[in-house]
């Protein structure tokens, strides 16, 4: 190891210690600098986003041969294509010749992608099919032996149509990485009779001037809902007073205890969920009793019950899937310590009724994104936090301790129902708003940085 990389490793070890996690002493602290420090930000991109599995889209976005969609993993531009033969591939969207973005479009369908700079061309399997004027290029003999194809990502995998990719080969198998989060993806996918989900056309991209971890945390945070979203709750209550039978409201089975809970999983993932007697909003699945019955027959009453409960799933480091009054898939792309780009899609089971689909869309627009009545308040809160985190000499925040006194290990009745084995779980009153489900993401964050520093973790 040379001096520069020793310094880098030492710096990474220092950064990893910004998370103070001492479960036996019931201490969990996050140093404010992880939201503001440019060194931390660089380390996150390189050693977290660019070193583990990231969600990159749905297979159904590239349903037909030669369909493509572009995205990012960390800083890397990515081109996802289905080849003429029907195989999905994910490649670095950069020409082998001079680095130009090969495909500058968001999505589309093309057999070939021709670099506009010097005309090198690739087919939809990423294979180079033309080096412009190669014969007259006076290339050294070694050139023809070089591979000129688009560089594929190191790992690409799909779980029931959810595509994940990693720029590093040093990752567990996708199934192992996802672990029991798969049970929660299943709860959405199995709402479709054909077991397929799709993005409703009309994605939304927005930014906020705050660190990406504010979104990561907020997606796990039930504590904020009643205060941050009180103006939205007022609107819902007013609407609900006159809601008709097609509003999609469903009831918990008798005997279910109201409350909020969470499961923490390995590799940074967590899910929080709530069991409510009085719902604030209906569900697309709930508006058509015949269809709900059919789903219940197919998946069983226990899983159908969970399909109707609010569930907020975080798959570390870049994905949140929310199933509530609608379903949302959102990903974030860190642009700077204090700037994040969000891409948000409305997720839907293939085959739901036209009325349920329209309800899903209206509910989604109502709640989510910069234009929604709830998420827009979140975005502003992130910016307020970011400004507050500039007070780096202030003591660590006190935002990671709700639930610490009573965090569960081992068996839980809720986990048993779903057949999952979380590393930790929590359950509390409807006003609980636990924060221990933030811990797995930060533990994985620390583990990846320690690993990059050469520590055995």
Partner 1 sequence: MVGSAIEQADVHAVAAATIYREARLLDTGEWADWVAMYSEDAVYWVPAWLDEYTTTNDPNTQVSLLYHDARRGLEERIARIESRKSITALPLPRTVHQISNLEASETGPDEIICHSVFSVHVDDPRVAKEHLRHGRYQHTLRRDGDTWKIARKVITLVNDRVPTVLDFYSI
Residue 421 binds to partner 1 (criterion: CB under 8 A): no
Q: Residue 410, class by beta-carbon neighbours within 10 Å (0-12 exposed, 13-18 middle, 19+ buried)? A: exposed
Residue 202 binds to partner 1 (criterion: CB under 8 A): yes
Centre a 10 Å sphere on the Cβ of residue 123 and count the other Cβ atoms it contains.
Answer: 19
- Looking at 35, 162, 216, 232, which residue binds partner 1 (CB under 8 A)? 232
Q: Which positions from 290 through 349 interact with partner 1, judged by CB under 8 A?
A: 341, 346
Residue 203 binds to partner 1 (criterion: CB under 8 A): yes
Centre a 10 Å sphere on the Cβ of residue 299 and count the other Cβ atoms it contains.
Answer: 17
- For the bound state, the minimum distance from the C-beta of residue 144 to partner 1, rounded and expressed in Å, comes to 36
Question: Residue 240: which H helix or E strand, with range?
Answer: helix 230-240
Intra-chain end-to-end CA distance of the chain, in Å = 19
Residue 389 binds to partner 1 (criterion: CB under 8 A): no
Residue 381 binds to partner 1 (criterion: CB under 8 A): yes
Residue 354 binds to partner 1 (criterion: CB under 8 A): yes
Q: What is the gyration radius of the CA atoms in the chain, in angstroms?
A: 23
- For the bound state, the minimum distance from the C-beta of residue 204 to partner 1, rounded and expressed in Å, comes to 6
Residue 369 binds to partner 1 (criterion: CB under 8 A): yes
Centre a 10 Å sphere on the Cβ of residue 391 and count the other Cβ atoms it contains.
Answer: 11
Which lies closer to partner 1 via its Cβ, residue 48 or residue 80? Answer: 80
Q: Are the C-beta atoms of 120 and 128 separated by less than 8 Å?
A: yes
- Looking at 86, 384, 390, 392, which residue binds partner 1 (CB under 8 A)? 384
Dist CA 309 CA 271 (whole Å) = 12
Residue 118 binds to partner 1 (criterion: CB under 8 A): no
Q: Using CB under 8 A, which of the segments 14-22, 55-63, 90-98, 229-237 binds partner 1?
A: 229-237
Q: Are the C-beta atoms of 133 and 143 separated by less than 8 Å?
A: no
Dist CA 210 CA 402 (whole Å) = 23
Residue 226 binds to partner 1 (criterion: CB under 8 A): no
Which lies closer to partner 1 via its Cβ, residue 316 or residue 332? Answer: 332
The CA-CA-CA angle for residues 170, 173, 177, to 5°, reads: 95
Q: Residue 231, class by beta-carbon neighbours within 10 Å (0-12 exposed, 13-18 middle, 19+ buried)? A: exposed
- Looking at 170, 234, 258, 390, which residue binds partner 1 (CB under 8 A)? 234
Residue 371 binds to partner 1 (criterion: CB under 8 A): yes
Which lies closer to partner 1 via its Cβ, residue 129 or residue 361? Answer: 361
Residue 350 binds to partner 1 (criterion: CB under 8 A): no
- For the bound state, the minimum distance from the C-beta of residue 110 to partner 1, rounded and expressed in Å, comes to 12
Residue 280 binds to partner 1 (criterion: CB under 8 A): no
Dist CA 356 CA 433 (whole Å) = 30
- For the bound state, the minimum distance from the C-beta of residue 236 to partner 1, rounded and expressed in Å, comes to 10
Residue 404 binds to partner 1 (criterion: CB under 8 A): no
β-strand partners of 262: 272, 426
Which lies closer to partner 1 via its Cβ, residue 207 or residue 250? Answer: 207
Q: Using CB under 8 A, which of the segments 44-52, 205-213, 249-257, 415-423 binds partner 1?
A: 205-213
Residue 231 binds to partner 1 (criterion: CB under 8 A): yes
Question: Residue 184: which H helix or E strand, with range?
Answer: helix 181-189
- For residue 138, give Cα distances in angstroms to 117, 118, 120, 141, 235: 19, 16, 16, 9, 71
CA 407 and chain centroid, separation: 24
Label residue 416 left, alpha or beta by phi (over 0 means left) and psi (-120 to 50 means alpha).
alpha
Residue 365 binds to partner 1 (criterion: CB under 8 A): yes
Which lies closer to partner 1 via its Cβ, residue 335 or residue 407? Answer: 335
> What is the β-pairing status of strands 67-73 and 54-58?
unpaired
Encode 115-143 in three state secondary structure. Answer: CCCCCCEEECCCCEEECCCCCCCCCCHHH
Listed residue (53, 38, 52, 45) closest to 74, CA to CA: 45
Count interface residues toward partner 1 (CB under 8 A): 41
Which lies closer to partner 1 via its Cβ, residue 230 or residue 301? Answer: 230
Q: Using CB under 8 A, which of the segments 8-16, 43-51, 189-197, 363-371 binds partner 1?
A: 363-371
Listed residue (90, 71, 137, 122) closest to 333, CA to CA: 71
Residue 201 binds to partner 1 (criterion: CB under 8 A): yes
- For the bound state, the minimum distance from the C-beta of residue 358 to partner 1, rounded and expressed in Å, comes to 5
Residue 35 binds to partner 1 (criterion: CB under 8 A): no
The tally of CA atoms less than 13 A away on the side-chain side of residue 407 is 23
Residue 364 binds to partner 1 (criterion: CB under 8 A): yes
- Looking at 53, 122, 162, 208, which residue binds partner 1 (CB under 8 A)? 208
Task: Using CB under 8 A, list all residues that contact partner 1.
Answer: 105-108, 200-209, 228, 230-232, 234-235, 341, 346, 354, 357-358, 361-362, 364-365, 369-371, 373, 376-377, 379-381, 383-384, 387
């Amino acid at each position: 190891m040379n001096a520069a990389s020793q310094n880098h490793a030492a710096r990474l070890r220092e950064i990893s210690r910004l998370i103070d996690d001492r479960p036996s002493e019931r201490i969990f602290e996050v140093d404010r600098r992880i939201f503001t420090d440019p060194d931390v930000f660089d380390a996150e991109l390189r050693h977290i986003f660019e070193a583990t599995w990231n969600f990159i889209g749905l297979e159904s976005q590239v349903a037909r041969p030669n369909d493509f969609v572009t995205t990012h993993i960390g800083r890397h531009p990515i081109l996802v294509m289905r080849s003429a033969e029907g195989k999905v591939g994910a490649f670095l969207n950069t020409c082998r010749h001079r680095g130009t973005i090969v495909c500058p479009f968001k999505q589309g369908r093309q057999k070939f992608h021709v670099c506009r700079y010097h005309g090198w061309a690739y087919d939809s399997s990423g294979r180079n099919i033309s080096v412009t004027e190669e014969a007259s290029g006076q290339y050294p003999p070694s050139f023809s032996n070089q591979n000129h194809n688009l560089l594929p990502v190191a790992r690409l995998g799909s779980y029931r149509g959810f595509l994940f990719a990693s720029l590093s080969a040093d990752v567990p198998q996708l199934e192992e990485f996802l672990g029991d989060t798969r049970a929660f993806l299943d709860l959405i996918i199995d709402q479709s009779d054909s077991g397929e989900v799709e993005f409703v056309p009309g994605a939304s991209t927005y930014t906020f001037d705050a660190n990406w971890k504010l979104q990561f945390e907020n997606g796990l945070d039930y504590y904020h809902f009643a205060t941050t979203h009180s103006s939205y709750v007022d609107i819902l209550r007013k609407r609900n007073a006159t809601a008709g039978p097609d509003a999609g409201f469903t009831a918990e089975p008798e005997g279910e205890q109201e409350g909020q809970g969470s499961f923490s999983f390995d590799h940074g993932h967590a899910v929080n969920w709530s069991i409510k007697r009085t719902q604030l909003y209906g569900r697309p699945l709930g508006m058509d009793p015949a269809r709900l019955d059919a789903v219940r027959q197919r998946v069983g009453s226990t899983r159908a019950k969970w399909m109707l409960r609010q569930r907020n799933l975080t798959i570390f480091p870049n994905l949140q899937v929310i199933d509530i009054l609608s379903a949302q898939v959102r990903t974030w792309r860190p642009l700077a310590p204090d700037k994040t780009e969000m891409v948000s899609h409305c997720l839907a089971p293939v085959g739901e009724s036209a009325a349920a689909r329209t309800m899903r869309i209206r509910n989604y627009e109502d709640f989510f994104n910069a234009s929604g009545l709830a998420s827009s308040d979140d975005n502003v809160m992130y910016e307020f936090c970011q400004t507050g985190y500039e007070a780096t000499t202030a003591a660590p925040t006190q935002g990671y301790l709700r639930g610490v006194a009573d965090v569960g290990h081992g068996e839980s009745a809720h986990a048993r129902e779903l057949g999952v084995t979380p590393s930790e779980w929590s359950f509390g009153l409807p006003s609980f708003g636990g924060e221990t489900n933030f811990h797995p993401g930060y533990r994985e964050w620390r583990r990846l940085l320690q690993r990059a520093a050469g520590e055995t973790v």
